[in-house]
Amino acid sequence: MAHRNDLATAVADGDRGALARAITLVESQRPADKAAAEQLLTTLLPRTGGALRVGITGAPGVGKSTLIEALGMQLCDAGRRVAVLAVDPSSTVSGGSILGDKTRMDQLSRRPEAFIRPSPGGGTLGGVASRTQEAMLLCEAAGFDVVLVETIGTGQSEVAVHDMVDFFLLLLSPAAGDELQGIKRGVMELCDGVLVNKADGDLIAAANATAQQCTLAMRVLHAGEANPPSVRTASATTGEGLSELWREIESTLARSRADGRFTQRRQQQAVRWLERSVREGLQALFEADGQIRTALASAKAKVAAGELVATAAANDLLRQWRNRCSAG
């Protein structure tokens, strides 16, 4: 117990080694570690919530990591403390991760004001997202005042990251104008801002054209909204446009703080996180029961063969499970 309190104190003191150990603890799947992690998070909860949480999504190679590094350096220079996290569902399959194998952000990782953590591997997307969210709380408890979350642009992980940040930025490449139709409408609706990256050298004209097309598309998608998401261009490699981007993010968040949307969004996110965790936990409990697993397998075969109605089979399984719960 004393050891755990030491860890909480060390995290709260901003000790980076302790923060790394605390994140390892919340990422652990061992039952004993889970209890310790819950206690740690509960102890530190009053110290959380103080960071600006910004999610960054976009197709592979669009420049997310380069942007995060450049923006992170600017923020550190301005006296901010920046944590970088990632949600990469592919790492749950491969065990690798977007911030792990391909070691980028070399400069930022050497800054004492920055903390970079790759995506946790293993488990469902929901599990990975939950652990990233817990890592975010720990970073806040350790005094980081900006948390940047990189995610690879796939529908589900985008929703998961949108659900944990205050501002969700979509990165497009200069060539995306031709493909705007193809870009999932979902993420265009979800995002709070769009950045056309790589607006440098020969790509400037294409980037401007894409930004124009995107602005029109956003007007249609967000018709009638008081503050439709902004669209701008920048270059993560030259740094052009990045301070304007950050100012825009801060002023958007200042507006939403002033009119209450900021708090409301965080409250909704916390409640959805609870609901998601309950759903996932229930399913895990259900499927962990050996007899239920056997019954489920046989129900699947019968439903597939057209011998059983799916809803009737599901109700029967749930009834069996309830009986087993009340018996056990």
Ligand X SMILES: Nc1nc2c(ncn2[C@@H]2O[C@H](COP(=O)(O)OP(=O)(O)OP(=O)(O)O)[C@@H](O)[C@H]2O)c(=O)[nH]1
Question: For the window 252-291, what string marks contact with ligand X as x by the rule CB under 6 A?
Answer: ----------------------------------------
CB 59 within 8 A of CB 94: no
Residue 63 binds which entry of Mg ion, ligand X, none, CB below 5-8 Å type-dependent: ligand X
SS3 content of the chain, % helix, strand, coil (to 5): 60, 10, 30
Binds 198: which of ligand X, Mg ion, none (CB < 5-8 Å by kind): ligand X
As measured in angstroms, the least distance from the Cβ of 64 to ligand X is: 3
Residue 180 CB, shortest distance to ligand X, in Å, is 18
CA neighbours within 13 Å on the CB side: how many for 195?
32
CB of 112 to Mg ion, least distance (A): 23
Tell me how far apart the alpha carbons of residues 109 and 106 are, in angstroms, rounded to a whole number: 5
Q: Which two tokens stand for residue 144?
A: 């980081």
Residue 235 binds ligand X (CB under 6 A): yes
Instruction: Identify the residue among 53, 64, 111, 117 touching ligand X (CB under 6 A).
Output: 64
Q: Does 200 bind ligand X (CB under 6 A)?
A: yes
Contact residue for ligand X among 22, 36, 63, 147 (CB under 6 A): 63
Span from 196-204, 244-252, 259-267, 320-328 in contact with ligand X (CB under 6 A): 196-204
| Number of C-beta neighbours around residue 181 at 10 A | 8
Would you count residue 165 as binding ligand X (CB under 6 A)?
no
- Rounded to the nearest whole angstrom, what is the least distance from the CB of residue 205 to ligand X in the complex? 14
Instruction: Pick from 7, 19, 36, 58 the residue near ligand X by CB under 6 A.
Output: 58
Positive or negative, the Cα torsion across 298, 299, 300, 301?
Answer: positive
Chosen from ligand X, Mg ion, none, partner binding at 66 (C-beta under 5 to 8 Å by type):
ligand X
By the rule CB under 5 A, 65 interacts with Mg ion: yes
Nearest approach, Cβ of residue 98 and ligand X (Å): 4
Q: Could you give the CA distance from residue 157 to residue 310 in angstroms, rounded to a whole number?
A: 29
Q: Cα(6)–Cα(40) distance, rounded to whole angstroms? A: 10
Query: Nearer Cβ to Mg ion, position 25 or 242?
Result: 242
Question: At 179, is the secondary structure helix, strand, or coil?
Answer: helix
State both tokens at 317: 């399984």
Alpha-carbon span 55 to 53, nearest angstrom? 7
Rounded distance, CA 159 to CA 147, Å?
Answer: 17
52 within 8 A of 90, measured Cβ to Cβ: no
| Beta carbon nearer to Mg ion, 41 or 108 | 108
- Give the x-and-dash track for 66-105 against ligand X (CB under 6 A): x-------------------------------x-----x-
What one-character-per-residue DSSP string does 183-235 give? S-HHHHHH-SEEEE---SGGGHHHHHHHHHHHHHHHHHHTTT-SSPPEEEE--
What letter would DSSP give residue 120? Answer: P
Considering only residues 253 to 282 of the shown chain, the ones binding Mg ion according to CB under 5 A are none
CB of 133 to ligand X, least distance (A): 20
Q: In the complex, which residues of this chain contact Mg ion (CB under 5 A)?
A: 64-65, 98
